[in-house]
């Protein structure tokens, strides 16, 4: 839309992904005048290339698995294969419905929505389509893009990113997934369910970072059981040979600490020509075509070094961190920062909130930490679903539950209660007296707390 050059917005937001649009909605709610600039589609990675389409693919994979296993439930069905165009039509239907809803929401909140690529021209101005937008505050929410290994260019054919994987017009016969983090494990799950042969290569000794706590305990039930996994192995570079599969070179990494397997990097190229790089004391200073350095005081959330930030899942961005907080800051109404639930939506799902047993021991002392486990084998609904898994609780002795770790089909759905338990610093005895509906997988959380409170009910261990 045309811009009145004299307008000074309270906030100009660059990027309409989960972080940007949530900040825009919140800022508008606070009565601020907001401009939201998006060069692609409102909703960004999460809606169009991330959370939503991947979960639709995972659900299609679940349907495929259930069809294969239908005889075990007394249902006659034959799995004939994947109609990949049909899968995409289903996935795209989900995305477009949500996209329409989001467009309507933003339009209803008196937000000035600008479609076009923005360039920071100064710490208070953004240029888009030949127009200049001035803001008392500029919020950078431009997200990230997939990255590869040196020598291994993403060609969209044999070397593909998660963006390509979402629109792939075939089920590959065999795939190597580089990185066993949340995104890698999810795609591995999808392709495995669709019938591909999958190998995951991960630098850390385990997959699915959020589920570290249960990886050993749950053993064969974890994603390892479904895929060939080469963990503890970092790939340093790769080479694509014409007409042949890419060759990858690596080294043992098990004891070399964390290697980055997230596969994404901050989006480059925000600043216009002639802008100076560097870290400003009060606001962004700009690097042409590179990174924006900014004030990193956490209470201001002017984090300019995107590469240095921890990965922020979309749920964190939508539920108030950091986009909504930053939007609240100009009026001094920062939302409280909550600890985040983590879910890896592979099959089975791995979900957790709080800290691990090891971290609790480090923080509170070896003899000050108590744990309890509940095996899903003792849970009626899990039996009905034929899923296996476990819930592990970590408690500070005579104190609150500081870690909830779950693995099993649909365990991601249980992380809501786990998050309340953690954030309200509940005692096991308090949770143990709550009645959990029967038969649900949610009962397993109650059972684990009963065990931790010294009153195990259906515990087989």
Ligand X SMILES: Cc1cc2nc3c(=O)[nH]c(=O)nc-3n(C[C@H](O)[C@H](O)[C@H](O)COP(=O)(O)OP(=O)(O)OC[C@H]3O[C@@H](n4cnc5c(N)ncnc54)[C@H](O)[C@@H]3O)c2cc1C
Active site residues: 438
DSSP code at position 95: H
| Strand segments (E) across 108-259 | 112-115, 118-122, 125-128, 131-140, 144-146, 174-178, 197-201, 228-230, 233-239, 247-252
Comparing CB distances to ligand X, the nearer of 35 and 360 is 35
Give which of 170, 185, 193 is closest to 61, Cα–Cα: 193
Shortest Cβ distance from residue 328 to ligand X (Å)?
17
Question: How many helices and strands (H and E) does the chain possess?
Answer: 14, 20
- Hey, is 201 helix, strand or coil? strand
Q: What is the CA radius of gyration of the chain?
A: 24
Comparing CB distances to ligand X, the nearer of 19 and 354 is 19
Shortest Cβ distance from residue 390 to ligand X (Å)?
22
User: At CA 402, angle to CA 390 and CA 448, rounded to 5?
Assistant: 35
Comparing CB distances to ligand X, the nearer of 40 and 250 is 40
Other CB atoms within 10 Å distance of the CB of residue 74: 6
Comparing CB distances to ligand X, the nearer of 20 and 211 is 20
Any bridge partners for residue 266, and if so which? Answer: 144
Give which of 454, 452, 336 is closest to 405, Cα–Cα: 452
Comparing CB distances to ligand X, the nearer of 329 and 449 is 329
Shortest Cβ distance from residue 117 to ligand X (Å)?
5
User: At CA 421, angle to CA 420 and CA 427, rounded to 5?
Assistant: 150
Helix ranges restricted to H, 135-280: 162-165, 182-194, 212-218
Shortest Cβ distance from residue 422 to ligand X (Å)?
17
The C-alpha atoms of residue 175 and residue 169 are separated, in whole angstroms, by 14
Contact indicator for 346, 189 with CB cutoff of 8 Å: yes
DSSP code at position 386: T
Footprint on this chain of ligand X (rule: CB under 6 A): 14-20, 37-40, 44-46, 49-51, 54, 117-118, 141-144, 162, 183, 267, 270, 312-315, 317, 345
Q: Which residues contact 44 (CB under 8 A, 6 or more apart)?
A: 15, 16, 17, 18, 19, 20, 21, 38, 50, 143
Shortest Cβ distance from residue 407 to ligand X (Å)?
17
Shortest Cβ distance from residue 71 to ligand X (Å)?
31
Comparing CB distances to ligand X, the nearer of 21 and 374 is 21
């Amino acid at each position: 839309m045309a811009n009145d050059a004299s307008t000074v917005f309270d906030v100009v937001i660059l990027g309409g992904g989960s972080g940007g649009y949530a900040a825009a909605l919140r800022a508008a709610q606070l009565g601020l005048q907001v401009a939201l600039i998006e060069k692609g589609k409102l909703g960004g990675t999460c809606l169009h290339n991330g959370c939503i389409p991947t979960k639709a693919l995972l659900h299609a994979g679940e349907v495929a698995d259930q069809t294969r296993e239908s005889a075990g439930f007394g249902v006659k069905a034959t799995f004939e294969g994947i109609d990949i165009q049909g899968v995409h039509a289903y996935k795209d239907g989900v995305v477009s419905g949500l996209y329409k809803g989001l467009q309507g929401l933003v339009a209803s909140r008196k937000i000035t929505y600008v479609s076009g690529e923005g360039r920071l021209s100064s710490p208070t101005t953004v240029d888009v389509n030949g127009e200049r937008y001035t803001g008392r505050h500029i919020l950078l929410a431009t997200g990230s893009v997939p990255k590869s290994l040196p020598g291994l260019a993403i060609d969209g054919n044999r070397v593909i990113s998660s963006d390509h994987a979402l629109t792939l017009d075939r089920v590959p016969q065999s795939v190597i997934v580089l990185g066993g983090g949340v995104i890698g494990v999810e795609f591995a799950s999808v392709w495995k369910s669709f019938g591909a042969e999958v190998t995951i290569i991960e630098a850390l000794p385990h997959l699915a970072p959020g589920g570290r706590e249960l990886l050993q305990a749950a053993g064969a039930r974890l994603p390892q059981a479904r895929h060939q996994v080469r963990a503890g192995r970092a790939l340093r570079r790769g080479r694509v040979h014409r007409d042949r599969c890419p060759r990858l070179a690596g080294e043992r990494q098990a004891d070399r600490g964390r290697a980055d397997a997230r596969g994404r990097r901050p989006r480059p190229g925000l600043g216009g020509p002639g802008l100076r790089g560097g870290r400003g004391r009060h606001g962004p200073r700009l690097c042409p075509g590179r990174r924006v350095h900014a004030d990193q005081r956490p209470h201001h959330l002017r984090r300019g070094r995107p590469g240095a930030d921890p990965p922020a899942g979309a749920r964190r961005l939508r539920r108030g961190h950091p986009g909504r907080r930053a939007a609240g800051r100009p009026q001094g109404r920062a939302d409280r920062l909550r600890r985040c639930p983590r879910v890896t939506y592979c099959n089975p799902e791995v979900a957790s909130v709080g800290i691990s047993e090891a971290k609790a021991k480090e923080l509170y002392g070896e003899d000050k930490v108590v744990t309890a486990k509940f095996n899903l084998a003792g849970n009626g609904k899990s039996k009905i679903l034929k899923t296996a898994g476990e819930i592990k609780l970590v408690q500070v002795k005579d104190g609150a539950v500081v870690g909830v770790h779950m693995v099993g089909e649909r365990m991601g759905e249980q992380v809501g209660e786990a998050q309340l338990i953690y954030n309200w610093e509940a005692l096991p005895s308090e949770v143990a007296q709550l009645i959990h509906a029967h038969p649900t997988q949610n009962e397993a959380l109650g059972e684990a707390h009963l065990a931790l409170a010294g009153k195990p009910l259906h515990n087989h261990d």
